[in-house]
């Protein structure tokens, strides 16, 4: 998408601000973490630094229609059920959160990531399995599930209007998938900004990526269980979260009451729930961030400026979202002789 000089200068300003903010966040963050005792283990010593072993033409000879197969399947699935678009974005993020994009979230075995608390409402597994099946028929033992998931998330994003980005391939599938790791690392919506910053930085992403990627919550839904603690008796106050707009809180209380129990859903973006726009950021300006972690991005000095910037610049959001998603798909991945190409996405080979 062509970008205006205004957008460019704002992006440049954002980049400059980012450098200043990141430097400050490094110190402030550490200090706050120590003060608040919130070091929740978001460092992952076992996982590696960003690597660049991925190649754009990786399947050119071995499976030339790989991207076509994924794209057609994703397009068809989302046309039949729009909710699969947000579901695929989230699946990709959860996979990334534990050991980089290595398809560990797709393994269906006792004690695997899929059975973690954070995975309870993940969807899209069947679609990835069916794409893998088609690719196994066309190019046996060639295309990894991690690459399929990365392509599916990219295509789902493009389908809902995000700028298209070129993907490099060659990710391998992990041979480990641990519910305990997912429970420890995947953010659940109650973390502090310090914890979220630490989580992203430990994976080679920065504060701007955190704010931009949180914008995925401009589509999709959350369970009432995720929001209920904010609606009454917030942090032992006996009152709703003061950061929540009173009318919005009222709306949510009614929706969650009439809609049933904890498994009832509310839209993450109450204003334009099925449009991938920057309304998410505008909502934050009006106390209408659904998750606690969303709303906390506004008052925090490390993230607030970015929220305001993205609220003011629709095209900046779409462009930057694509860039941050591309980064998610490239950091800490397994390549070359690491990992394997699974035969079925739901099972580590030999299991
Ligand atoms: C920054 C930390 C994040 C936290 C704390 C967080 C937390 C959550 C929570 C609690 C839900 C609702 C789950 C439920 O109740 O069913 C949710 C939904 C969702 N998240 Fe996040 N998330 C984060 C980042 C991301 C990122 C980076 C992406 C994608 C790039 C993403 C994409 C989504 C989507 C699309 C949904 C809706 C899913 C659906 O409708 O099926 N989230 N997130």
Closest residue CA from atom 25 of ligand 1: 214
- Which one of 208, 216, 276 would you pick to mutate in the ligand 1 pocket, going by the greatest count of ligand atoms within 8 A of its CB? 216
Question: 152-167 pLDDT, tens per residue?
Answer: 999 999 999 999 999 9
Atom number in ligand 1 closest to CA 120: 16
Question: 20-49 pLDDT, tens per residue?
Answer: 333 333 333 333 333 233 334 444 333 344
CA dihedral 224, 227, 233, 239 (to 10 degrees): -120
Percent of the chain residues topping a pLDDT of 90? 78
How does residue 262 score in pLDDT terms, banded at 50, 70 and 90? confident
Closest residue CA from atom 3 of ligand 1: 187
Widest CA span in the chain: 63
- CA-CA distance, 28 to 183, in Å (whole number)? 26
Question: 168-184 pLDDT, tens per residue?
Answer: 999 999 999 999 999 99
Q: What angle is formed at CA 211 by the lines to CA 206 and CA 214, rounded to 5 degrees?
A: 120
- pLDDT above 50: residue 247: yes
How does residue 233 score in pLDDT terms, banded at 50, 70 and 90? confident
- pLDDT above 70: residue 107: yes
Which pLDDT value is given to residue 41? 43
- Which one of 91, 93, 101 would you pick to mutate in the ligand 1 pocket, going by the greatest count of ligand atoms within 8 A of its CB? 93
Ligand 1 residue neighbourhood (C-beta within 6 Å): 83, 86-87, 89-90, 93, 121, 123, 187-189, 196, 210, 213-214, 216-217, 219-223, 226, 268, 291, 293
- Structure tokens belonging to residue 175: 């041979």
Average pLDDT, the chain: 87
Q: What angle is formed at CA 170 by the lines to CA 188 and CA 168, rounded to 5 degrees?
A: 80
Q: What are the E-state strand segments in the chain?
A: 221-223, 265-267
Q: Which residues of 241-278 are buried (b: 16+ CB within 10 A; e: fewer)?
A: bebbbeebbeebbebbeeeeeeebbbbbbbebbeebbb
For ligand 1, the distance from its centroid to the CA atom of residue 83, given in whole angstroms, is: 13
What are the extents of the domains in the chain? 66-184, 188-324
Which pLDDT value is given to residue 235? 87
Contacts for 232 with CB less than 8 Å, ≥ 6 apart = 238, 239, 240, 253
What CATH class is the domain 66-184? mainly alpha
For ligand 1, the distance from its centroid to the CA atom of residue 177, given in whole angstroms, is: 20
Question: 293-306 pLDDT, tens per residue?
Answer: 999 999 999 999 99
Active site residue 351: no
For ligand 1, the distance from its centroid to the CA atom of residue 138, given in whole angstroms, is: 33
What's the CATH code, domain 188-324?
1.10.420.10
Q: Which of 94, 286, 319, 351 is catalytic?
A: 94
Contacts for 68 with CB less than 8 Å, ≥ 6 apart = none
Question: 37-95 pLDDT, tens per residue?
Answer: 333 444 433 334 445 689 999 999 999 999 999 999 999 999 999 999 999 999 999 99
């Amino acid at each position: 998408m062509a970008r205006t000089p205004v957008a460019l200068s704002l992006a440049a300003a954002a980049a400059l601000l980012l450098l200043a903010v990141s430097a400050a966040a490094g110190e402030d963050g550490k200090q706050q973490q120590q003060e608040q005792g919130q070091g929740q283990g978001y460092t992952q010593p076992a996982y590696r630094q960003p690597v660049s072993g991925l190649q754009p033409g990786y399947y050119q000879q071995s499976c030339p229609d790989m991207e076509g197969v994924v794209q057609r399947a994703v397009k068809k699935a989302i046309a039949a059920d729009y909710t699969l678009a947000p579901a695929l974005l989230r699946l990709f993020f959860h996979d990334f959160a534990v050991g980089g994009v290595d398809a560990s979230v797709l393994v269906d075995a006792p004690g695997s990531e899929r059975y973690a608390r954070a995975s309870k409402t993940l969807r899209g597994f069947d679609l990835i399995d069916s794409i893998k099946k088609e690719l196994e028929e066309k190019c046996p033992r060639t295309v990894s599930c991690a690459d399929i998931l990365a392509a599916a998330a990219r295509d789902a994003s493009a389908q809902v209007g995000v700028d298209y980005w070129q993907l490099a391939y060659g990710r391998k599938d992990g041979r480990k998938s641990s519910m305990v790791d997912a429970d420890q690392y995947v953010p659940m919506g109650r973390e502090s900004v310090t914890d979220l910053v630490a989580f992203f930085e430990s994976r080679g992403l920065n504060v701007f990526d955190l704010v931009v990627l949180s914008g995925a919550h401009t589509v999709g839904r959350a369970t009432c269980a995720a929001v209920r603690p904010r609606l009454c008796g917030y942090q032992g106050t006996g009152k709703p979260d003061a950061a929540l707009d009173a009318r919005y809180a009222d709306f949510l209380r009614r929706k969650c009451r009439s809609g049933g129990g904890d498994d009832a859903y509310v839209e993450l973006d109450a204003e334009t729930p099925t449009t991938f726009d920057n309304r998410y950021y505008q909502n934050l300006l009006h106390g209408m961030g659904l998750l606690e972690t969303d709303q906390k991005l506004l008052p925090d000095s490390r993230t607030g400026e970015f929220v305001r910037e993205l609220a003011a610049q629709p095209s900046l959001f779409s462009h930057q979202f694509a860039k941050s998603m591309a980064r998610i798909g490239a950091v800490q991945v397994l390549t070359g002789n690491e990992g394997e190409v699974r035969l079925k996405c739901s099972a580590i080979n030999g299991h």
